[in-house]
């Protein structure tokens, strides 16, 4: 049965690849995209994810409805714990009534800080950080936003969403609770400098759960306020680029899902620092540091991750990557979980 599933997946990808490159097979208004990433990982301690795996097997389609409207779909075929389930990632419409205004509606990457808004296939660090995996599981929100380009340097973005990311462990039903959040961002770009500031404000919905003695409890709704400031600077006359993100706010940590470990919200704080060195189009070296503290008033849960990633582009769409990450927990909670990842990725 497993061989049949894998063979079916492989055959389907081959057919779709052939369609993507066949000018007669597809309407010119439909553009297929996709990515296949196979990787090997090795982590300290007892880890269930060591060895070879298909990390990404994604297929997307972009539909040009008319001159102002496009539709976007993307499906992941290597989802789930066993990596054999299908999962809808992107499903949104982009409408551009005027040159300076674009409206997005559906399920899409959250338009916030770099680690959550960037597509994983071109993410500098190969994998998303602890902050994103904890607070924005899946990196996508459901709702919509408007991007208004004020001028060549300034863009404003404002949106309304379901307050939880689509893979949040406490979003246990289709649609979840009727909790709404708003986002607002200002992005500035001039020459080698980019700056952004914004955030998400809403409520994390109440949750029906059970305590350690299996008694039913109701976890009340709570604040969900996450703000960020981001600066990216390319060093003049060098192949070096620096990026810094500061994230702060208040949220109830969703660890444990529907058997929650935390019942009340807490103040949180994160610092991301990146140094990206690109001596030529084929080579890229990324040094990244993340300091994530989900509760600034309580000790023992702060996590720091230092990673070094090397990307080699065989071609523009074929990338080989080697990443080493060292994760440090606070004293008394340290875990042997440093990891090495070797990945090969092809996208079209």
Q: Which CATH class is domain 2-21+29-347?
A: mainly beta
β-strand partners of 275: 242, 287
71-75, 167-171, 181-185, 234-238: least confidently modelled range: 167-171
Q: What is the pLDDT of residues 41-66, one digit of tens each?
A: 988 775 556 788 899 999 999 999 99
The CA distance from 245 to 218, in Å, is: 35
The CA distance from 55 to 77, in Å, is: 10
Say if residues 113 and 135 touch (Cβ distance below 8 Å): no
Q: What is the pLDDT of residues 259-301, one digit of tens each?
A: 888 999 999 999 999 999 999 999 999 999 999 999 999 888 8
**pLDDT of 2 higher than 60:** no
The CA distance from 164 to 161, in Å, is: 8
- For residue 65, give the 3-state DSSP assignment: coil
Say if residues 231 and 194 touch (Cβ distance below 8 Å): yes
Say if residues 118 and 128 touch (Cβ distance below 8 Å): no
260 secondary structure, DSSP code = -
pLDDT the model gives residue 177:
62
| Predicted structure pTM score | 0.87
Q: What is the pLDDT of residues 228-243, one digit of tens each?
A: 999 999 999 999 999 9
pLDDT the model gives residue 110:
97
Q: What is the pLDDT of residues 3-27, one digit of tens each?
A: 444 444 444 444 444 444 444 445 6
**CA distances, 169 to each of 15, 55, 209, 224, 248 (Å):** 35, 20, 13, 15, 21
């Amino acid at each position: 049965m497993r061989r049949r599933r894998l063979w079916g997946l492989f055959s389907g990808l081959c057919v779709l690849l052939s369609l993507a490159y066949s000018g007669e097979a597809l309407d010119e208004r439909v553009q297929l995209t996709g990515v296949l990433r196979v990787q090997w990982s090795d982590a300290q301690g007892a880890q269930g994810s060591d060895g070879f795996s298909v990390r990404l097997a994604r297929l997307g389609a972009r539909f040009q409805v008319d001159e102002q409207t496009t539709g976007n779909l993307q499906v992941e075929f290597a989802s789930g714990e066993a990596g054999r389930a299908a999962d809808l990632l992107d499903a949104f419409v982009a409408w551009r009534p005027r040159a300076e205004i674009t409206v997005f509606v559906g399920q899409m990457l959250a338009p916030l800080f770099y680690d959550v808004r960037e597509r994983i296939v071109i993410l500098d660090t190969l994998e998303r950080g602890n902050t994103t995996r904890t607070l924005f599981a899946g990196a996508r929100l459901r709702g919509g936003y408007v991007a208004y380009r004020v001028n060549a340097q300034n863009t404003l973005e404002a949106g309304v969403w379901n307050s939880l990311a689509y893979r949040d462990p406490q979003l246990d039903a289709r649609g979840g609770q009727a909790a709404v959040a708003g986002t607002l961002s200002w992005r500035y770009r001039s020459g080698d400098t980019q700056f952004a500031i914004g955030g998400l404000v809403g409520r994390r919905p109440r949750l029906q759960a059970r305590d350690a003695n299996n008694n039913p409890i109701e976890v009340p709704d709570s604040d969900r306020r996450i703000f960020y400031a981001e600066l990216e600077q390319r060093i003049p006359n060098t192949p070096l680029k620096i990026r810094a993100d500061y994230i702060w706010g208040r949220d109830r940590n969703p660890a444990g899902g529907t058997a929650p470990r935390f019942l009340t919200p807490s103040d949180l704080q994160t610092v991301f620092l990146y140094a990206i060195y690109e001596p030529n189009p084929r080579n890229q070296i990324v040094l990244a540091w993340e300091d994530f503290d989900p509760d600034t008033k309580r000790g023992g849960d702060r996590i720091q991750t230092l990673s070094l990633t090397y990307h080699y582009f065989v071609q523009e769409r074929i990338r080989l990557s080697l990443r080493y990450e060292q994760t440090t927990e606070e004293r008394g909670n340290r875990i042997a979980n440093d990891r090495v990842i070797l990945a090969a990725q092809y996208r079209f």
